[in-house]
């Protein structure tokens, strides 16, 4: 009797299953096992990647795992794709799964903040991917969950309390209103009442190694909460803030603080105004794109300037409140008084009333050697930009001619910004050579100086290190990317894509949109 489908070796079944489409693998494998129930079909694969598309599947899976606990370690990925489920049942299911690699959830109106707190009460060992997609309405816009105070701020705080673990990818998305269902005058529901918990998440142990972050909160100003704390998101390379309220000024502060960001996606964000009539009348219809390119290139200059001002003000206040003998030692060597009779002006006593005693500030925690000398001029070397790709949506009709004109202006602004940055660094090099100023730079991640900011904030030279080589001042402005020169060294203009979130031929090859599709596995 020849071989048939119901008596093949396990290896051949695995080869057949490998050709199933990922979207249909679960259902196809289940149908195959039912068609040939006595065959060694590897049904354990069903548990590796679970997709819950309707509410009934949650309870069925819960009962199966309770009856067969040996299948629990096989679960690697859970994807909740239904918007209308019993949230309590899903919480009970998650309680059975202490370890997994991927967790993706659609969070509809049946979920309350308490459900999310229970899900994220403790860490999931081995977790590599977390995606939360909030939709505070289904097909009928409603404010009911939010009028009763059902805000999900506590979800962010629960994640911030997790111990250190490697989580490279995190997605937090609030779906904007579908204009087909929602009336035009219906305001956007609020998922996060306060955005301050984002700043706690930014410095949490969980996000220390976070590389890819998608945060979409429609029309909310989330940008400053991502970098207000020192050493926020130290490993972040990809950031998507589409639909949020992000201005060019926000980007300047963001890229200055989160200097490792290489890919930025801002679909539907007001990074440029839709009003171009003024620029058209002036003969420069895409002037805003030139200004945007320059802003992105000079983000490090703003950060250095702001830190210099804070350092100068802190040092002045420190020595104003320091004892006279400490201020004198900081100003220079102490001179011994000459022998002989002293005049009234140099006498050891004074006829005036004693001045109030000066006290050193009690909140100074940084060591004395990390405080500049009094009246010492300290300059900070602005870092070069790391941005390699900038993706957004064009506010209007985008034709090939329009894209070419916008790209030209964007590159012109970037080149002007890099040229100005190089000039600033060369001026600091001259000051360094002549001994006019002490030049420092921002410390690299993981160094003792970098970790100082966590403990001391921005006291003294916390987070700063001395520049000791003249080569550190030189900025390579190679726009052609010669052989042997990395993109980061060349500081070429970032790849610009204006096609928006939809998948079509207008996307630039290798743009931030395409990278996001690969990272998050969707096209929202």
What average pLDDT score do residues 502-520 get?
91
Within-domain flag for 243 = yes
Residue 407 domain-assigned (yes or no): yes
Burial class of residue 484 (count of CB atoms within 10 Å of its CB; 0-12, 13-18, 19+):
exposed
Residues 167 and 314 in one domain: no
Are 100 and 221 in a shared domain? yes
One domain, residues 461 and 373: yes
Residue 442, Cβ neighbours under 10 Å: how many? 22
Please state the rounded mean pLDDT for residues 350-370. Answer: 67
- Based on the fold, state whether residues 242 and 316 are members of the same structural domain: no
Domain-embedded: residue 503:
no
Contact 479, 494 (CB under 8 A): no
**204 and 315: one domain?**
no
Same domain, 233 and 310: no
Residue 295 within any structural domain of the chain: no
For residue 278, pLDDT over 60 is answered with no
CA nearest neighbour of 366 among 443, 444, 314, 303 = 314
Residue 41 in domain: no
Dist. CA 285–CA 277, nearest whole Å: 7
- The highest-confidence range among 83-87, 282-286, 480-484, by mean pLDDT, is 83-87
User: Between 341 and 264, whose confidence is greater?
Assistant: 264
Q: Are residues 309 and 270 in the same domain?
A: no
358 and 448 in contact (C-beta within 8 Å)? no
Mean pLDDT across the stretch 182-187? 60
- With beta carbons less than 8 A apart as the criterion, state whether 61 and 52 touch: yes
pLDDT tens digits along 374-432: 999 999 999 999 999 999 999 888 899 999 999 999 999 999 999 999 999 999 999 99
Q: Is the pLDDT of residue 282 over 60?
A: no
Q: What is the mean pLDDT of residues 68-86?
A: 93
> Using 50, 70 and 90 to split pLDDT, how confident is the model at 145?
low
Task: State which residues form the domain around 227.
Answer: 48-279
β-strand partners of 240 = 214, 265
- pTM (2 d.p.): 0.85
Q: Are residues 391 and 252 in the same domain?
A: no
For residue range 475-496, list pLDDT tens digits in order: 865 544 443 444 444 689 999 9
308, 237: one domain:
no
Alpha-carbon separation of residue 34 from 28, 175, 232, 334, 437 (angstroms)? 10, 38, 51, 92, 78
Contacts of the segment 435-440: beta carbons below 8 A, 24+ positions apart: 436/377, 437/377, 437/378, 437/379, 438/372, 438/376, 438/377, 438/378, 438/379, 438/466, 439/378, 439/379, 439/380, 439/381, 439/466, 439/467, 440/378, 440/379, 440/380, 440/381, 440/464, 440/465, 440/466, 440/467
The answer to whether residue 514 is domain-embedded is: no
Percent of the chain with pLDDT over 90: 64
* pLDDT surpassing 80 at residue 37: no
- Which whole number is the average pLDDT over 364-377? 93
Domain check: are 408 and 262 in the same one?
no
Domain count for the chain: 2
129 and 257, same domain (yes or no):
yes
Q: Which residues pair with 214 in a beta bridge?
A: 171, 240
Phi/psi region, residue 433 (left: phi>0; alpha: psi -120 to 50; beta: rest), is alpha
């Amino acid at each position: 009797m020849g071989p048939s489908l119901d008596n093949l070796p396990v290896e051949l079944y695995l080869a057949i299953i490998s050709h199933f489409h990922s979207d249909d693998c679960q259902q196809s494998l289940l149908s195959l096992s039912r068609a040939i129930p006595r065959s060694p079909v590897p049904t354990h694969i069903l548990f590796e990647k679970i997709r819950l598309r309707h509410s009934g599947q949650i309870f069925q899976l819960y009962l199966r795992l309770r009856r067969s606990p040996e299948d629990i370690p096989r679960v690697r990925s859970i994807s909740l794709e239904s918007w209308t489920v019993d949230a309590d049942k899903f919480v009970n299911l998650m309680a059975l799964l202490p370890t997994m690699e991927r967790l993706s959830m659609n969070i509809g109106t049946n979920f309350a903040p308490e459900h999310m707190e229970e899900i994220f009460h403790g860490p999931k060992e081995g977790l590599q991917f977390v995606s939360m997609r909030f939709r505070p309405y289904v097909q009928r816009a409603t404010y009911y969950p939010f009028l009763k105070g059902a805000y999900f701020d506590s979800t962010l705080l629960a994640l911030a309390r997790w111990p250190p673990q490697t989580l490279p990818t995190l997605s937090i998305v609030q779906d904007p209103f579908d204009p087909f269902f929602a009336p035009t005058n219906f305001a956007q529901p609020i998922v996060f009442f306060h955005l301050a918990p984002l700043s706690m998440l930014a410095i949490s142990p969980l996000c220390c190694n976070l590389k890819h972050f998608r945060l979409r909160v429609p029309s909310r100003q989330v940008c400053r909460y991502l970098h207000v704390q020192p050493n926020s998101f130290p490993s972040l390379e990809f950031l998507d803030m589409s639909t949020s309220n992000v201005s060019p000024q926000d980007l300047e502060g963001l890229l200055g603080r989160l200097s490792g960001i290489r890919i930025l996606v801002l679909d539907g964000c007001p990074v440029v105004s839709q009003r171009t009539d003024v620029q058209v009348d002036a003969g420069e219809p895409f002037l805003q794109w030139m200004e945007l390119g320059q802003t992105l290139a000079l983000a490090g200059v703003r950060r250095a300037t702001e830190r210099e001002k804070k350092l100068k003000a802190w040092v002045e206040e420190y020595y104003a409140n320091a004892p006279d003998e400490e201020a004198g030692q900081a100003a220079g060597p102490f001179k011994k008084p000459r022998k002989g009779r002293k005049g009234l002006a140099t006498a050891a006593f004074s006829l005036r009333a004693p001045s109030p005693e000066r006290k050193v500030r009690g909140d100074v925690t940084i060591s004395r050697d990390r405080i500049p000398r009094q009246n010492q001029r300290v300059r900070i070397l602005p870092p070069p930009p790391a941005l390699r790709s900038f993706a957004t949506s064009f506010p209007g009709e985008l034709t090939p001619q329009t894209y070419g004109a916008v790209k030209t202006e964007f590159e012109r602004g970037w080149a002007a910004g890099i040229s100005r940055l190089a000039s600033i660094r060369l001026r600091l090099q001259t000051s360094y050579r002549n001994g006019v100023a002490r030049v420092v730079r921002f410390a690299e991640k993981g160094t003792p100086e970098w970790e100082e900011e966590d403990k001391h904030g921005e006291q003294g030279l916390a987070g700063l290190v001395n520049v000791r080589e003249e080569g550190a001042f030189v900025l390579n402005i190679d726009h052609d990317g010669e052989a042997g020169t990395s993109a980061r060294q060349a500081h070429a203009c970032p790849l610009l894509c204006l096609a928006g979130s939809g998948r079509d031929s207008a996307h630039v090859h290798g743009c931030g949109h395409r990278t996001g599709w690969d990272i998050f596995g969707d096209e929202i």
